[in-house]
Amino acid sequence: MSVVEKNVLVIYTGGTIGMIADSTGAYRPHKNLLGDILSCQSRFDDPMANSIFSNLNNKQAYALWFDQEKPTQKQASIKEHRRTLTVKAHQEFHGSHFNGEFYEGEIPALQTPKTFLSGVEHTVKYAILEYDPLLDSSDVSPKEWVKIVRDIELNYNSNFDGFVILHGTDTMAYTASALSFMLEGLDKTILLTGSQIPLTHIRADASDNILHSLLIAGTITIPEVTIYFNHQLLRGNRATKVSTSEFDAFRSYNYPPLAKVGTKLDVNWNVVLPKSNKPFTVHKSLSPEICVLRFFPGIKMHVIEAIIEDLINHERAALILQTFGSGNIGRNDKLLDLFKKASNKGVVIVNTSQCHTGSVSGAYENGRVLGEAGVVFGNDLTCEAALTKLSYLLSTDLSTEEIRKIVPVSLRGEVNKLV
């Protein structure tokens, strides 16, 4: 039986997954560490298919491996068998050359052991494009989002079947949401993952997250931006981080997982977006003129006034309200007048809930009057999706009224059609 070989580009941005403790005990990313760890473990790198992991399909395969290789025998020179993958990037990387438009070079490929998926034997070859500097995800900004999508664009129509983005967990949901709007017309899997414990620790969730992400991105076409974490594949613009310490760190409260990994890899195809009929397009412009305002009992009016006055000074801007329950705030006629003024001046104001499940509506008087003041109900948008969706929309040539109509409508599966 022939082995199906797939190629994946791993874009390594930083995060806990490749960190190591410094002299103070604080975790920091370290250059080349991730690749060194993966390449020395045959579970992640078996280019000659002669490790024990590639020969455990049955007793006969193991016996043959034992007789030919011997458990204590050193592998033959891997360098002679290691192949490379051509990678393009907008930043220089080891072995690359600049062709006038971008950097291009051959990156030595790591290769997973042979494994059966859906009755077919697969192996995934992957190249790691390591960014410099590697970032803690709290340092990730829209500038990095643009960098990631530009590198995906360069490599999209080449020999890669899917993409894995290694990213810190703190802002992963923001990055996944942003990428979902910046990448249009997908017909390949774009998958973000990371870990709560670094790969430098034996007891780490990093190993499972990396290995399953490679297998999913390489062997299954899920044409959207996703997050894989703790045996679940989530739609990126539906996910949010919910724990600083648990391996089950992400939730998709208003939408079911796209896939679950247990004894089988089960994809719920009924909830996966279909392949787009649109051509693959990368949107590289984002608007920074957005603010998120979380309401709380006793919030000071002058704080809200200062935020809105600043937004009004920009030609196009947006304000995301995080309100109580199903979209309510304390009744305040002065505040409603302020929202009307901002709306009339072109500021797009969107109402989202502080609750994880459910959606906003005008079911209560205190929510209904917000709609009368020009505030758009954001249905069940997460804060991360609302922020990145508006950042994307404000950068287009759509009018303010068109943007207001599009906010509660699904572009990339970010809101439920019926809420």
Alpha-carbon span 1 to 23, nearest angstrom: 51
Taking 60 as the threshold, does the pLDDT of residue 362 lie above it? yes
Q: Note whether 353 and 324 are same-domain residues.
A: yes
- pLDDT of 56: 74
Q: Note whether 268 and 204 are same-domain residues.
A: yes
Q: Note whether 125 and 28 are same-domain residues.
A: yes
Q: For residue 417, give every residue at least 6 positions away whose Cβ sits within 8 Å of its Cβ, in sequence order, or none.
A: 410
77 in any annotated domain: no
Phi and psi at 395, nearest 5°, equal -85, -5
Q: Between residues 120 and 74, which one has the greater pLDDT? A: 120
Asked about 169 being catalytic, the answer comes back as yes
Q: Note whether 270 and 312 are same-domain residues.
A: no
In total, how many domains does the chain have?
A: 2
230-269, pLDDT tens digit by residue? 999 999 999 999 999 999 999 999 999 999 999 889 999 9
76 in any annotated domain: no
- pLDDT of 78: 64
- pLDDT of 186: 97
Mean pLDDT of 160-176: 98
Alpha-carbon span 380 to 385, nearest angstrom: 10
Considering the candidates 169, 200, 323, 400, report the single residue annotated as catalytic. Answer: 169
- pLDDT of 73: 44
Task: List, as one string, the DSSP characters of 50-80.
Answer: -SGGGG-SSHHHHHHHHHHH-TTSPPP-HHH
- pLDDT of 419: 36
Asked about 16 being catalytic, the answer comes back as yes
416 in any annotated domain: no
Give the residue numbers spanning the domain of 36: 4-47+82-282
70 in any annotated domain: no
Considering the candidates 13, 16, 112, 388, report the single residue annotated as catalytic. Answer: 16
Whichever domain contains 87, its CATH number is 3.40.50.1170
Q: Note whether 266 and 306 are same-domain residues.
A: no
Q: For residue 94, give every residue at least 6 positions away whose Cβ sits within 8 Å of its Cβ, in sequence order, or none.
A: 105, 107
Q: Per the structure block, which two tokens stand in for 131?
A: 């960014």
Alpha-carbon span 364 to 371, nearest angstrom: 11
- pLDDT of 79: 64
- If you search the block for the tokens 């990213």, which residue do you land on? 167
133-156, pLDDT tens digit by residue? 999 999 999 999 999 999 999 999
Alpha-carbon span 231 to 37, nearest angstrom: 22
- pLDDT of 65: 76
Q: Note whether 202 and 320 are same-domain residues.
A: no
Whichever domain contains 333, its CATH number is 3.40.50.40
Of 282, 303, 318, which one is at a domain's C-terminal end?
282
Of 282, 302, 320, which one is at a domain's C-terminal end?
282
Mean pLDDT of the chain: 93
209-232, pLDDT tens digit by residue? 999 999 999 999 999 999 999 999
CA 411 to chain centre: 17
Q: Note whether 176 and 274 are same-domain residues.
A: yes
59 in any annotated domain: no
295 in any annotated domain: yes
57 in any annotated domain: no
245 in any annotated domain: yes
39-76, pLDDT tens digit by residue? 999 999 988 888 878 777 777 777 777 777 654 444 55
Of 237, 257, 282, which one is at a domain's C-terminal end?
282
- pLDDT of 418: 42
- pLDDT of 80: 64
The two most distant CA atoms of the chain are separated, in Å, by 83
